[in-house]
Amino acid sequence: MPPNGARICVAGIVILRQRPGTAKGVIFLTLEDETGVINVIVWRKLYDRYRRAVIAGRMLRVTGRIQREGGVCHVISEHIEDVSAMLDHLLTPPAPARED
């Protein structure tokens, strides 16, 4: 597991978006992939920059830094990309093998 403060990139389906009124504009996202879930923190300044992806993205790729405190692990986001279009490829059957 990468050390606290390490820069990483994670991707997954957005299963939860939270914007508590007491969080002063901070958004909390939970992403899930085949290995589990990860919590992502989006500070207000970054939210303003990546608003469309944060609000509408079904699947996101997030680059940021790991923060561990008291057994809880988060990714503090630095860059957010909506990669929802990749989900469409999951439904497309592979092309048949060519016989030459």
> Do 75 and 65 contact (CB within 8 A), yes or no?
yes
pLDDT of residue 25: 82
pLDDT of residue 38: 94
Give me the residues of the chain with pLDDT under 50, please.
none
Identity of residue 79: H
Residue whose structure tokens are 């008291």: 70
pLDDT of residue 31: 97
Domain boundaries, given as residue ranges, for the chain:
7-86
CATH code for residues 7-86: 2.40.50.140
Torsions phi, psi for 85 (to 5 deg): -60, -25
Question: What is the model's pTM?
Answer: 0.83
pLDDT of residue 81: 97
pLDDT of residue 19: 87
Report the number of secondary-structure helices (H) and strands (E) in the chain: 3, 5
Torsion angle, alpha carbons of 65, 66, 72, 74, to 10: 40
Nearest-angstrom CA–CA distance, 67 and 4: 5
pLDDT of residue 77: 97
